Amino acid sequence: MTRAFPADFLFGAATAAYQIEGAAHDDGRTDSIWDTFSRIPGAVVNAENGDVACDHYHRYAGDVAVMKELGLQTYRFSTSWSRVRPDNGPVNPQGIDFYSRLVDELLGAGIKPWLTLYHWDLPQALEEKGGWANRDTAELFRDYALSVHDALGDRVGVWTTLNEPWCSAFVGYTAGVHAPGRQSKTDGLAAGHHLLLGHGLAVQALRERDPGLELGITLNLTVAKPVDPARPGDVDAARRIDGQLNRFFLDPIFRGSYPADLLDDVAHLGFTDLVRDGDLAQISQPLDSFGVNYYNGSLVSDRPTESAQLSHDPTNRATSSPFPAADGVFNHPQGLPVTAMDWEVQPDGLRELLVRVGAEYTGPAGTDLYVTENGAAYDDIVASDGSVHDADRTRFLQLHLDAVLDAIDEGVDVKGYFYWSLMDNYEWAWGYQKRFGIVRVDYDTQERTIKDSGRAYAAIVAARSLTTAAEPALAK
């Protein structure tokens, strides 16, 4: 069966500055929190860092040519605060010029630039002043956003403030798994609120500067379900995960309030003391677009599982739960196939998530809805001729695009899909051990090779349709 995508549906791919650019010390760029975190013993697998990464800073023209060969309509990338305004000082002409040249290259190839202002790489100089746990950082983020707009606003129409602020706040400041590596429930909650405040300040300032911009944010979301829907402990576990991962961000953005049950959960941590009069009105600025990042769902209980953990910390470094008020909540396996990250493959979770977000949040707000990240890491094998036959990733892509079409059939106006990632890259605390790309990167030679999954995606984009046929099932 062949299923067509809407005529205005956008197909793209996504990356992030620190994961691909390299050139960590070139042309005036200074350290971000990820440069510093990667030097902490045990923080990153093999002590790997983003100093070189995919060398995109020097190879961007060739990478854009690959995007054009794939037929991508749009490319979601992030700008590096440490490159644009090193140490949050004055604008760095060489740093901002790189993004200006990248945008020109994209436009010349007929590819729509989709700019994300913050993808986790806070200048280390600001972390030393408190980072996102310091309220001042929210206002400095607005100023940085305007600096980027000064240079690129004439050619870039789509602006995303933050990528996955849950990860920035709670994986970075509470779990300690990501930069800056803190393990504090109160710091994570402060960071979460200040990230939202920075988002609202930037949206207001950019809209005042240019009312024609398409402004939005991207959140990583999950579908949290109880192991036993009839058991109160399991139901409460799912409620807590949904509240502290999904609704912590969705409700302030779209409803101008934090959920009451969430506030009850974190009351002992003094969270409401952080929220000042006017903050929630600032955070809930109307948005033009909203991005969902989805990788897998969650099946949870207040009882431990006897099975192995569904995901593992990259290293043996001591870390904490990212959830500030979900002690005693445990993930349970669903018996689904898993990726190389040990993440379960649950495409119907994407359909369910899009239906919920569309019905409860973006639909009532009149905000366009996109899937801004979805992808899978697998242990690719390079054939003797250099090709990469990544059948599992190809199937993952097909299954999730099918789920997007299912959501559209249910009446959700999904406007586009971005595969994560365009190319293999630095996978944060996993270093270079996990490959998500539809384009392989040989880190020794920096050679790019389009994988079978990339060819399959290009065929879908060209046909603007998905052919579903009997395919081999993913291995469990």
pLDDT at 315: 87
Distance CA 205, CA 197 (A): 12
93-108 vs 56-70: helix crossing angle, rounded to 10: 20
Distance CA 79, CA 86 (A): 12
pLDDT interval class at 204 (50, 70, 90): very high
pLDDT in tens, 238-261: 999 999 999 999 999 999 999 999
- Supply the mean pLDDT for the chain: 97
Strands (E), 35-172: 74-78, 112-118, 158-163
Catalytic residue among 48, 164, 344, 427: 164
pLDDT at 357: 99
The answer, yes or no, to whether the previous bond of 307 is cis (omega within 30 of 0) is no
452-463 vs 56-70: helix crossing angle, rounded to 10: 50
pLDDT, mean of residues 35-64: 98
pLDDT interval class at 474 (50, 70, 90): confident
Q: Which residues, listed in sequence order, are joined to residue 414 by a DSSP beta bridge? A: 369
pLDDT in tens, 322-373: 999 999 999 999 999 999 999 999 999 999 999 999 999 999 999 999 999 9
pLDDT at 430: 97
**Which residue intervals of 210-267 are DSSP H helices?**
232-241, 248-255, 260-265
Per the model's pLDDT, the better-predicted residue between 81 and 305 turns out to be 81
pLDDT in tens, 187-196: 999 999 999 9
pLDDT of 308 > 60? The answer is no
pLDDT interval class at 269 (50, 70, 90): very high
pLDDT interval class at 386 (50, 70, 90): very high
Q: Look up residue 234 and give its two tokens.
A: 């399991």
Per the model's pLDDT, the better-predicted residue between 471 and 286 turns out to be 286
pLDDT in tens, 105-138: 999 999 999 999 999 999 999 999 999 999 999 9
pLDDT of 475 > 90? The answer is no
pLDDT of 418 > 60? The answer is yes
* 391 sits in which H/E element: helix 391-409
pLDDT of 469 > 80? The answer is no
pLDDT, mean of residues 143-167: 98
pLDDT at 309: 53
Burial per residue of 3-24, b for 16 or more beta-carbon CB atoms within 10 angstroms, e otherwise: eebeeebbbbbbbbbbbbbbbb
Based on the number of CB atoms within 10 Å of its own CB, is 100 exposed (0-12), middle (13-18) or buried (19 or more)?
middle
What percentage of the chain exceeds 90 in pLDDT? 95
Distance CA 68, CA 77 (A): 15
pLDDT in tens, 55-68: 999 999 999 999 99
pLDDT of 471 > 90? The answer is no
Distance CA 375, CA 339 (A): 10
pLDDT in tens, 67-108: 999 999 999 999 999 999 999 999 999 999 999 999 999 999
Distance CA 346, CA 285 (A): 32
Give the CA angle between residues 230, 293, 435 to the nearest 5°.
110
pLDDT, mean of residues 201-213: 98
Q: Would you give the end-to-end CA distance of the chain in angstroms?
A: 26
The total number of residues written for the chain in this structure: 476
pLDDT interval class at 468 (50, 70, 90): confident
pLDDT, mean of residues 157-161: 98
360 is catalytic: no
C-alpha to C-alpha distances, 205 to 202, 210, 277, 454, nearest whole angstrom: 5, 9, 19, 38
Catalytic residue among 21, 105, 352, 373: 373
What percentage of the chain exceeds 70 in pLDDT? 97
